Structure formats: structure tokens, C-alpha cells
Amino acid sequence: MPTSPLSPNLTRAVLNYLQVSPAAPDSVFLDALVAAYVRRVPWESVSRIVKRQRESDTARCARWPQEFWQDAMTQGTGGTCFETNYAFLALLRALGFEGYLTINDMDLLTGCHSALVIMIGEQRWLVDVGLPLYVPVPLAESDRSSRSSAFHTYRATPCGDCCYQIERDRHGRRYCYTLVDIPVSDSAYRAAVSADYGRSGLFLDRVIITRVCEGRIWRFHSQQGVGVLESFVNGGRTEHALGSDPVATIAQRFQMTPALIAAALAKAG
């Protein structure tokens, strides 16, 4: 069973939130949606830390697309890869795009990262708002492909049957992940989302928030010190002091609800 699309009413609300007008499901519209998403919706671990703290049953922790988008519009949250890509696919399907979910590997970690493959005509596009990749990247059957964004040039290199090595320039870590280009069923993906809230779940022990703001990639990482924000442009990194009220400064920078950030920091330490 394919991933369910968002309802028409929620789709209109999300497009309004992203400040994107409806259009035909082509590569231009896909570019616009990804560009709007990464500038409006953060990659963040705050929401999953808070949700896990509130729910004793991990099966009830997952933030499915309706909850994900409502939280984004009311609290400024986003999520990590499994929930963000699932919510983005639900939006894309509501807008007429076709594609599928994948679960991928990073170095020695198997099945730890998700991404989407979206099909437009004969071309397949790697779409990943859960890393994020700042533009969709074309995939070729047997040749390396590449595409540039304002921040990185991405390369997708075939590295075996149904596998691609995804890389980026202007970053301290060139390797992103290994795309396993095999469709994952909706039920299997949902099981992976719920499992990611278990004992081996990622990013439940640290607060990370990143989003494009004012032409730069901004990031807060609690394990690098509560008193510092980072910004990145053209491969360079700048530190910014948070001042006497770190939570308020972080919340203002990323336009997120301060109480959520405070709760996540208190839990993660």
C-alpha cells in the first residue's frame, strides 16, 4: 500500500506555510518545494526528544504526517530523517508526484537513514529533506551524476546493484550515505519510524537544530556547547555566542517554541 497523501485542506495549509504556489508536478515545482522546505522547516531532534519523554510506549511516539505538519505550522518544528521524508512524501503525493521510500546505510550503520526517489517522466530524482540535500539530485543507471546547490555540489555514483554513493563538496565530511535504491513498503517504513524511538534510536541524547536562514546554514548542537551557534557558508564556519539566554536566542534564530527547546535540553543534558 503506497504512502497516503495529505488531505486537500492540509496540503493547502502546508503550501501556504512554505509560501509556494500550486503547480504541475514537474522538476521546477519539485525544486521549489525542496528549496522552500529547507528554508522553513528545520532538521531537529527537539521534537523527538520531547515526544519520547512524554510517551512511555515507543509505538505511540512516531509523528505521522498530519501531526508533523501541524507541529511545523504551530511550533516551528521539523524532525529527523525518517519522519521528515515520510511527511514530505505525503505532501508530494498530494501534489501529484510519484515516488517511493528508501532506507539507506551510513558507513557501518545499516538502515539508519531514509530518502525518497521521485520519478518525473523517465528521470529519477533523489530527494532527501532528512539530511538535508538542498536540491533534488538526478540518478543515472550507470553513470555518476551531479547537481549543485547554493551550499554544496552533490554527486551520486553507482557502487553496486541498486546502490549509489552520495557525496557533497564544501563540507568537512564529503561522504553523505549509501543510497539503497530499493523501494520500501509503507508498512515496513512505518515500523522503522517507530523502531527509531527505541533504545537504539538516533538523536535522542542530543539537541541538534539546523536550517537555512538568511542565506546561511545555521546549526545548534548541544554536544558542542550550549553557548554557541554555528553558521556555514562557502565551506566556512563561524561561531556565534548565544548570550545570557541561550534558549531564547536559539528559539528566535530557528523560529521554534522556546518551551520545547528547553524541555529537550533538560532531558538530553
Tens digits of per-residue pLDDT, 54-110? 998 998 999 999 999 999 999 999 999 999 999 999 999 999 999 999 999 999 899
pLDDT, tens digit (0-9, with 9 covering 90-100), for 169-197? 988 889 999 999 999 999 999 999 999 99
Question: Residue 1: its pLDDT value, please?
Answer: 66
Can you tell me the mean pLDDT for 213-223? Answer: 95
71-75 contact pairs (CB < 8 A, 24+): 71/47, 72/14, 72/17, 72/40, 72/41, 73/13, 73/14, 73/17, 75/47, 75/256, 75/257, 75/260
The whole-angstrom separation of Cα 47 and Cα 19 is 23
- Which of helix, strand or coil describes residue 46? helix
The length of the chain is 269
Q: Residue 169 falls within a domain, yes or no?
A: yes
Q: Residue 2 falls within a domain, yes or no?
A: no
In this predicted structure, the answer to whether residue 134 has a pLDDT above a threshold of 80 is yes
Q: Residue 1 falls within a domain, yes or no?
A: no
The whole-angstrom separation of Cα 168 and Cα 150 is 12
pLDDT, tens digit (0-9, with 9 covering 90-100), for 138-173? 999 889 999 999 999 999 999 988 999 999 998 888
Q: Residue 114 falls within a domain, yes or no?
A: yes
Q: Residue 86 falls within a domain, yes or no?
A: yes
Question: Residue 24: its pLDDT value, please?
Answer: 98
DSSP state for residue 215 in the 8-state scheme: T
Helix, strand, coil percent values for the chain (each to nearest 5): 35, 30, 35
Q: What is the number of domains present in the chain?
A: 1
Q: Residue 82 falls within a domain, yes or no?
A: yes
The domain of 258 spans 8-268
Q: Residue 70 falls within a domain, yes or no?
A: yes
The CATH number linked to 163 is 3.30.2140.20
Q: Residue 3 falls within a domain, yes or no?
A: no
Question: Residue 234: its pLDDT value, please?
Answer: 84
Task: Give the residue ranges of DSSP H helices in the chain.
Answer: 8-18, 27-40, 46-54, 65-75, 81-94, 186-195, 246-254, 258-268
- Which of helix, strand or coil describes residue 144? coil
pTM of the model: 0.96
